[in-house]
Amino acid sequence: MPDPSAAKAALAAQKIETPSWAYGNSGTRFKVFAQPGVPRDPWEKLRDAAKVHEFTGVAPTVALHIPWDKVDDYGKLAAFARELGVSLGAINSNTFQDDDYKLGSICHPEAAVRRKALDHLLECVDIMDATGSRDLKLWFADGTNYPGQDDLRQRQDRLAEGLAEVYARLGDGQRMLLEYKFFEPAFYATDVPDWGTAYAHCLKLGEKAQVVVDTGHHAPGTNIEFIVATLLRENKLGGFDFNSRFYADDDLMVGAADPFQLFRIMYEVIRGGGYTSDVAFMLDQCHNIEAKIPAIIRSVMNVQEATAKALLVDRDALAVAQRSGDVLEANAALMDAYNTDVRPLLAEVRQETGLDPDPIAAYHRSGWQQHITAERVGGTQAGWGA
């Protein structure tokens, strides 16, 4: 059995980035259900994110989404975050909500649209310079809905050209995280549909280009931990967008649909040497019907629990069973950790770092929800479109 104190130290040092947009309204194509107390601007989003960090202790950074989080002075926003005890994280670009992007952004058949999209990406790097963010996270909605609609290969050429220009703009210590997605919003072909495509592009770009794994962006049945292990072996795993799904890109709370899968992913992260700051652990979720801040706290806790179990795997016993070809023993060694109730261990970690052992209860007691519900009246609530 691994040393619990080592596990506790690793857990105390964990860092999970929360996304600014998860604090705003979201929904499906059928309906966005607004919630009371939702932030109306980036400043209020940061306040909520700071609450998540306050109660969990492991969510010290907040990802921004441009243009949803556009402000006049990013230095001021970064300073405000620091005052709240958090800091600004990855910059997420958005090349899917402008009318011009109907047929794509940097893969669009028209050069003018590609230029516009590229200018936006370069602006995101400018923002990174101002915020001190390390990572530019690129997700492209680009793709086609009908066979023949556009030339699959030319779109790859345009993609490569665009990525190269952005890559060249990156400063020292800055990275580009390229996300892939199986489908949606494109329904026939997506221009970066799988890890192989993202990997191939990143390989050509260079070391600063890394693949980001969104846990909801795979075909049914895909073994995600295999991809994680493979990307770590190739030194190309830049980070995660955590969420969970039963069907498609459902964007549910991470760990809610398949907690065993999350555990297996975290095991491969740790086993592959990815439990470091080189891999960004980010949430990317939509809390369509559940209260947002508690949902994000729960998500952070779900990642913690999966991590704790992964840290408790008796890797020596596992290796012995694996080497001897004992299928049942090897499986049992892994399952023994998974079946452990790690909530007491995490409660200890929290208490030792001065936190309440039950972050959800503490949040509810704090009165923050009542506060924002009362205070944030009027104005336009933040959402995917704003």
Which residues between 321 and 360 bind a copy of itself (CB under 8 A)?
A: 321-325, 327-328, 330-335, 338-341, 343, 360
Nearer to a copy of itself, 121 or 192 (CB): 192
Taking contact as CB under 8 A, which single stretch among the options 26-34, 75-83, 126-134, 373-381 is the one that binds a copy of itself? Answer: 26-34
* Nearest-approach distance from CB 45 to a copy of itself, in angstroms: 19
One-letter identity of residue 246? F
Cβ density class 214-238: b for 16+ within 10 Å, e for less: bbbbbeeeeebbebbbbbbeeebbb
Nearer to a copy of itself, 51 or 169 (CB): 51
Q: Does 237 bind a copy of itself (CB under 8 A)?
A: no
Taking contact as CB under 8 A, which single stretch among the options 44-52, 56-64, 163-171, 185-193 is the one that binds a copy of itself? Answer: 185-193
Beta-sheet strands, E only, within the chain: 18-19, 61-65, 87-92, 135-138, 143-144, 175-179, 189-190, 209-214, 237-242, 280-283
Pairwise CA distance, residues 69 & 74, whole Å: 10
Check if the beta carbon of residue 18 is closer than 8 Å to that of residue 91: no
* Nearest-approach distance from CB 191 to a copy of itself, in angstroms: 9
Please name every residue paired with 87 in a beta bridge, in sequence order, or none if there are none: 61
Taking contact as CB under 8 A, which single stretch among the options 58-66, 73-81, 92-100, 368-376 is the one that binds a copy of itself? Answer: 92-100
Check if the beta carbon of residue 242 is closer than 8 Å to that of residue 217: no
Q: Quick one: which of 86, 99, 6 has its CA closest to 43?
A: 86
Q: Does 250 bind a copy of itself (CB under 8 A)?
A: yes
Q: Does 68 bind a copy of itself (CB under 8 A)?
A: no
Taking contact as CB under 8 A, which single stretch among the options 40-48, 68-76, 77-85, 224-232 is the one that binds a copy of itself? Answer: 224-232
Tell me the three state secondary structure of residue 136: strand
Q: Does 362 bind a copy of itself (CB under 8 A)?
A: no
* Nearest-approach distance from CB 105 to a copy of itself, in angstroms: 11
Q: Does 193 bind a copy of itself (CB under 8 A)?
A: yes
CA distances (Å), origin 246, targets 181, 216, 218, 226, 338: 16, 9, 11, 19, 20
State the angle between helix axes of 195-205 and 224-233 in degrees (0 to 180), rounded to the nearest 10. 10
Q: Does 223 bind a copy of itself (CB under 8 A)?
A: yes
Exactly one of 36, 185, 367, 379 binds a copy of itself (CB under 8 A); which one? 185
Q: Does 378 bind a copy of itself (CB under 8 A)?
A: no
Region of residue 255 (left: phi > 0; alpha: psi -120 to 50; beta: else): left
* Nearest-approach distance from CB 189 to a copy of itself, in angstroms: 5
Q: Does 379 bind a copy of itself (CB under 8 A)?
A: no
Nearer to a copy of itself, 54 or 225 (CB): 225
Check if the beta carbon of residue 16 is closer than 8 Å to that of residue 59: yes
